[in-house]
A and B are shown apart, each in its own frame.
Chain A
Amino acid sequence: MGGVRLLEWLVPSVPAEAVDWDAVYREELARVFNYFRYRGFERATAEDLTSATFEKAWRARDRYRKDRAAVSTWLLAIARNVAVDHLRRRRREVPLDDAQARDDATPETLALGESQVRRLRGLVAALPDRERELLALKYGAGATNRAIATLTGLSESNVGTILHRTVGALRGRWDEGGRT
């Protein structure tokens, strides 16, 4: 019922839950950022979307209710909406290209080898939307299957099944192409 949400938004005297928001930022920044990266957004866009997510969350943080969801799940719910809004504006996700991949070079990718990272990103980017979304939540954001189920409306077992199948298929394609 809307009244529940109404109360969260309309009652300024209801104190925000005691949350260490500095700690939330430190702990959740990389998770949110990697959620967007695993979704297939280039690094600069992922940074923009991460900023948008945290700014929205910070403006609304007195609405956060500890008893409803973990703060990480709450942030990911906002992140998913930010991604949807962005895609609606852009109509399509920006594919990685060579020039952008060079811009994306990081210590991690350099250590692993840019070509391998690019190839793996390409495999992930080729996944259907739903599978890529679940993968981004699981491996990008480090969300539990239960949290993913909460966020997506799928059952927890369904989340597990889809992820298992998706990772298996990816693993096969990854191995087929060799690792070097």
Chain B
Amino acid sequence: MNPDSPIIEIQNLSRRYGKLDAVNGLSLTVRAGKCYGFFGRNGAGKTTTIKCLLNLLRPDAGGVRLFGLDPRRDEVAVKARLAYVPDMVAFYPWMTVRDTLEYVASFRRHWNADIEADLLTRFHLDPQQKSSHLSKGQRTQLALIGAICPEPELLVLDEPTSGLDPIVRREFIETVIGAYQSGDPGRRTVFVSTHLISEFEGLIDEFTIIDKGRNLLTMEADAARDQFRKIRVRFAELPAGLDLSGTLKVKQNGREMEILTNGNSAPLLAQLKSYAPEELRCEALSLEEIFVASDLLPKAAA
């Protein structure tokens, strides 16, 4: 494989369920060593996309490549290099934690037993416990151990922390950063789909927001926070003739306004300032706020 080829390359991917276009011409690229966020509302096509990556579903059009390979043709070679944690994890109920990990490890060429021991301790998991007796949080922790110990080049996470308590969620993210990412940072790529965007905020290098199966917005996180701004302004008296064209959203309450912008906040700030406001503040939107605001972005015609 060409060492510079992207870890994930999705091109014009389409997948229909009957008449429903679950994914409709989606393209995105994930480079090695990045943590890539994949955001979208329920039913936007996130899980369908991930299933196409894992060759659990066949695309109707377009295609996906992982590590430069076609997951349909080179399924084993691709799967040997990635691990996947879905939102609902299921294990064989008669197996203990220890049996489950041995079973998972038996499919892997490489298994880091030190990480396994560390994480079992960290999560307070009892190796003799039957997997059917584990809580949802513990099952996710077990799945995460199973995903990290092979030290794969790509970790695919689909809503991994939904339905978990805040402490387990926190530990989950810390484990992804610590146990997974620190191993060999240039060869540790994360692709995470989640609604709990604020918890993953610090981890995300770049993201795509998907809407109705299409790519609505792809940006680097730092650039996005620089571009999307919330401006709060209060005047002694609301000036006539304010030009707010090109802004995303304006909320007005008497002589106060809250304005969302997508780029070009400097000329707007200068204009507001020329009316001598009593107060003027400008802050960045968080990724979660950007996700909410993305609903206001112009959408490609269906």
Do A and B come from the same complex?
no
